Structure 1
Amino acid sequence: MSQHLSELLSGLSAIEATLLVVLVSIVGAFVMEAVVLRLLFQYTRRTETGLDNIVVQELRWPIVVTVSLTGVYLFAQTPAVADALVVSSEDLNTFFGRPSVSVGIIVWAWALNRLVNRLVEAVKDKGSRFDFAPVFSNIWTLLVSIGTIGALLFLWGIEITPLFAGAGIAGIAVGFAAKDTVANFFGGIALYFDDTYKIGDYVVLDSGEAGTVVKVGIRSTTLLTRDELLVTVPNSVLNAAKIINESAPNRRRRVKVPIGVAYGTDIDEFEELLIDIALDEPLVLDSPRPRARFRQFGPDALEYELLCWVNSPLKRAKATHNINRTMYKRLNDADIGIPFPQRDVHVYSSSGAPPAPQSAPAEATNGGVARNRDAEFDETDAEDDTYDDLVGDDVGDVGDE
C-alpha cells in the first residue's frame, strides 16, 4: 500500500499531495458522521435518560475531526510519502504529524470540558448535592486546562521539569500573595462536600446578612436580600461562619406571633379565636394545625403565642403582617382588651410629706382590671412583736418551701 501511495504522490507537488490527503480525510470523516453517528443518535433517542443524548451531541464533532486528522497523521508517518515529496520524515512530521495531534488534543479537551459541564448541569436538577455545579465546573476546567498544556508541551519535546521547578517557586510566591483566594477556593470545596446550602436556599449568617443563594462560585457566594441587593460573601468567611439554612431540610417554616390579652379574659374563647384567625389566613398551612400557647403571666397581660406554619421562609413576614391585622380587628369586635404597659407615679410635695391617699379607678382604660388600695401602709402596724404573734412559730419554715 505504501508503494502504491508513493507512486500516486510522486507525480504531485507537495501542495497538491497535501490537499489530496486532507480532502480524502474530510470525506471519510463525513461518511462516518452520516452513517455511524446518525445510527447512534437514533438509538439514544429511544432511551429514557437524556444523558446519552448529551454524550453523543458533544462527542459528534470531535470524532469527525479525529477521523480527519488521523488521515493527515498517517500521511505524515509514512516514509514513502516523504520520499515521494522529497522531504525528510522529520520535516513531514513537524509540519503535519505534530500539528494534527495538537489540534486533536485541543479539540478533545474542549469537548470533554463541555461534556462534563453539561452532564453536571443535567444531573443537578435531580439532587441537591449537584447544586454546587459552578464550583465543580471551575475545578474541572482548571484540571483540563493544565492537562492540555502539559500534553502539548510533551508532544513538542519541551522539557517540563524546569517548568515544574519554576512553578513550585512561583506557587509559593503566589500562595503568600493570594492566600485569601486560595482560602476561598478550598472554602468553596468544603462547602460543596458539606452540602451546606444550594442555589435557591434562604440562609441567615451569624453576621446578620440574610438572603436567597443565587450564585455559588469558586471564590465567593452571592446572596439576594429582601431589599433586592446582591451581597457577595467570600467562601472562606462562609466556611468559618455559623449559617442557618431556613430552606433545609424543607422550606416549611414556623411563624410565631406573640400577643397579650387582659387579665380576666375567657382564655378558652381567646385561644379558639386565635386558631380561627390562623386558619383563615391563606398563607398559613392547615397541617401542622395552628396552636395557641399560654406562655406566662406578664406584668400587664396574659402572654400568649400563636404558632402556625408557612410553606416558605420568604412568606413568614407577610403572614405575620396579615395575622396581626386580622387579630387586632377580631379582638376589637369580640370586645377583648389588649393591654399596654402602665406605671403608677407618686408625687410628693417639697416638704417631703406624702399626699393624701386616693383610690385608683375601678376599671382600667386598657381592658384590664385595676388593683385598688384602701389605705396606705403604716409601719406602726408591723411591729416586730405583733408580727411574730401573727405569724406564729412557723416563721422559720417559710424558707424551706
Structure 2
Amino acid sequence: MNLVTTLNALPPWQAAALVLVASLGAAVVTEVVLVRVARHAVARTETELDELVLESLRLPLVLTFALVGVFALTRIPGVVAAVPVSAEALEFYFGRPALTTVVLLWAWALNGVVNRTVGYLQESGARYDFAPVISNVWTLVVLVGALAITLSIWEIDVSPLLAGAGIAGIAVGFAAKDTVANFFGGIALYFDDTYRVGDYVELDSGEAGTVVKVGVRSTTLQTRDEVLVTVPNSVLNAAKVINQSAPGRRRRIRVPIGVAYGTDLDEFESLVLDVAADESLVLDSPRPRMRFRSFGDSALRYELLCWVASPTRNAKATHRLNRGIYDGLREAGIEIPFPQRVVTMRDDVRSIEGNGSMAPTAPVEGATSSDETMPGGRSEGRFGDD
C-alpha cells in the first residue's frame, strides 16, 4: 500500500491536514535545524564558497517542502472529490502554480549559485578572469531549461513555437551575426587562455594596453595614455595577440649602445653593468649582461640586456638607463661616435663684368660629391670637379 492509497483511505479533511502539516513541518525543520547545522559546519571551513552555496539554496529548499504539500493535495482523489470545484480547476489554480513556483525557485537558485561562485572565484585570483563568459552561458541554459519545463507543466504545445522560433532565429542570426561572432569569440578566448585581466597585450593592428575588462561581447584595454579601447572579441579571436605578461610578468629589455673603435671594452662593459645594477627598475635576477653584436661603420655595436618586473616599465627603465649610460660614458671620457660630415667647397673661376656683377667665365659643371669615412664616424664630402 503506497502513501497515496493510505491518505485516500482517510477522511478528506484528515488527509489534507496531514499533508499540509507534514509539508510545513518539513519546511520548518529544514530552516530551524538543517540550515543551522549546515551553517555551523561551513563556518569551520577556510573558504567562503560553501557559505555562498548554502545561502543560495536555503530559500528554494524551504519553500519546496512547503509547496510540495499543496501540489500533493491535487493528487489525492479523496481530497479532490471533497473540494467543491472540479479537478481541472484545482489543478489549474493550485497544482500547476505550485509546481511552476518550485521550478522557477530552483532555476533562480542554481543561476545564483553559479553567478556568486563566479564572482568569488574572480576575486580570488586572475586565473578565473574569463569566468563571466561561462556565467552568461549558464544563465542562458538555465533560462531556456526553466522555460521549457514551465511550458511542459502547463501542457503548452511548443511545436508551433519551435517553428516560429526557427524562422525568427534565422532572421536574428543575420541581424546579430556580429554579436554572435563576438560571443563565440569570447568563449574561444576563454578556453585558449589568451589573456587575463591585468595582462599587458599588443595587437597586430597597433593597439596596446592593459586588459581591464573581459566581457561576452568585447574586451577593454587601457593604454599608457589612460585611454580605454574596446575591441570586439571576434576581432581579438582572429588577430595576432602578443601577451607581454605571459607566462610571467617580467620582461627583458634591450638597450643598444655604440662605442668608438679603440675603446677599452672591459672598462666600457663594467661601467654599463654598474649603471644597470644601480637602476632600481632593473631586476637583480636574471643579472644584466652585455653583448657585443657587430662591427658598425663607425662604432662597435653593443646591447645591454636586463629585466624589469612588468612590461609597463619598459619605457621608463630604458629612459633611465640611457641617461645613466650617457652620463657615465661622458664622465669616463669614453666616446660615443656619431655621424659627421665635413664639406669642402672649391672656388669657381669668376670675373667681374663691366656692370659690376659676378658671373662665371666658364660653364660650371654639375656638382659631384664623394664621401670618405673618417675616424669617429665623420665623413668628408667634396663638391666640384675632381
Hey, what's the Cα distance between the residues in 2 that align with 1:333 and 1:79? 104
Asked if 1:6 corresponds to 2:12, the answer is: yes
SS at match of 1:77: coil
Q: Kindly tell me: are residues 304 and 28 of structure 1, through their superposed partners in 2, closer, same or farther at Cα, counting changes over 3 Å? A: same
Tell me how far 1:8 sits from its aligned partner.
Answer: 5.5
- Per-residue CA deviation, residues 291-312 of structure 1 (Å, 9 max, x unaligned), is 1122222233322211100111
On the 8 A contact 2:73/2:80 being kept in 1, the answer is no
Cα RMSD (Å) of the superposition? 3.2
Asked if 1:218 corresponds to 2:216, the answer is: yes
On the 8 A contact 2:342/2:380 being kept in 1, the answer is no
Structure-1 residue corresponding to 2:40: 42
Which letter does structure 1 place at the counterpart of 2:228?
L
2:84 to 83, 86, 98: 86
2:113 to 112, 115, 128: 115
Hey, what's the Cα distance between the residues in 2 that align with 1:311 and 1:333? 30
Tell me how far 1:119 sits from its aligned partner.
Answer: 2.6
Q: Kindly tell me: are residues 158 and 353 of structure 1, through their superposed partners in 2, closer, same or farther at Cα, counting changes over 3 Å? A: closer
Greater Cα shift, 319-328 or 139-148: 319-328
Greater Cα shift, 257-266 or 46-55: 46-55
Tell me how far 1:255 sits from its aligned partner.
Answer: 1.1
Structure 1: tracts of 5 or more residues without a match: 11-16, 380-401
Hey, what's the Cα distance between the residues in 2 that align with 1:27 and 1:231? 57
Hey, what's the Cα distance between the residues in 2 that align with 1:336 and 1:148? 78
Q: Kindly tell me: are residues 22 and 200 of structure 1, through their superposed partners in 2, closer, same or farther at Cα, counting changes over 3 Å? A: farther
Which letter does structure 1 place at the counterpart of 2:41?
Y
On the 8 A contact 1:283/1:319 being kept in 2, the answer is yes
Which letter does structure 1 place at the counterpart of 2:266?
D
Which letter does structure 1 place at the counterpart of 2:270?
E
Tell me how far 1:319 sits from its aligned partner.
Answer: 1.0
Hey, what's the Cα distance between the residues in 2 that align with 1:24 and 1:354? 114
SS at match of 1:287: coil
Structure-2 residue corresponding to 1:286: 284
Structure-1 residue corresponding to 2:250: 252
Tell me how far 1:206 sits from its aligned partner.
Answer: 0.2
Which letter does structure 2 place at the counterpart of 1:7?
W
Structure 2: tracts of 5 or more residues without a match: 1-6, 350-363
Structure-2 residue corresponding to 1:332: 330
SS at match of 1:345: strand
Hey, what's the Cα distance between the residues in 1 that align with 2:341 and 2:111? 73
Greater Cα shift, 41-50 or 64-73: 41-50
Asked if 1:99 corresponds to 2:105, the answer is: no
Hey, what's the Cα distance between the residues in 1 that align with 2:188 and 2:172? 22
TM-score, normalisation: structure 1: 0.81
Hey, what's the Cα distance between the residues in 2 that align with 1:370 and 1:224? 45
On the 8 A contact 1:21/1:75 being kept in 2, the answer is yes
SS at match of 1:184: helix
Q: Kindly tell me: are residues 36 and 323 of structure 1, through their superposed partners in 2, closer, same or farther at Cα, counting changes over 3 Å? A: same
- Per-residue CA deviation, residues 283-331 of structure 1 (Å, 9 max, x unaligned), is 1111111011222222333222111001111111111122122222222
On the 8 A contact 2:133/2:187 being kept in 1, the answer is yes
On the 8 A contact 1:203/1:243 being kept in 2, the answer is yes
Q: Kindly tell me: are residues 185 and 147 of structure 1, through their superposed partners in 2, closer, same or farther at Cα, counting changes over 3 Å? A: same
The percentage of aligned residue pairs carrying the same residue is: 58
SS at match of 2:100: helix
Asked if 1:229 corresponds to 2:244, the answer is: no
Which letter does structure 2 place at the counterpart of 1:107?
L
2:306 to 298, 305, 308: 308
Which letter does structure 1 place at the counterpart of 2:96?
R
On the 8 A contact 2:130/2:190 being kept in 1, the answer is yes
On the 8 A contact 1:215/1:223 being kept in 2, the answer is yes
Structure-2 residue corresponding to 1:203: 201
Q: Kindly tell me: are residues 80 and 258 of structure 1, through their superposed partners in 2, closer, same or farther at Cα, counting changes over 3 Å? A: same
Q: How does 1:59-208 map to 2 (within 5 A)?
A: 59-124=57-122, 130-208=128-206
Hey, what's the Cα distance between the residues in 2 that align with 1:371 and 1:82? 110
Hey, what's the Cα distance between the residues in 1 that align with 2:110 and 2:377? 79
Q: Kindly tell me: are residues 113 and 304 of structure 1, through their superposed partners in 2, closer, same or farther at Cα, counting changes over 3 Å? A: same
SS at match of 2:341: coil
Q: Kindly tell me: are residues 371 and 169 of structure 1, through their superposed partners in 2, closer, same or farther at Cα, counting changes over 3 Å? A: closer
Hey, what's the Cα distance between the residues in 2 that align with 1:66 and 1:371? 92
Asked if 1:296 corresponds to 2:294, the answer is: yes
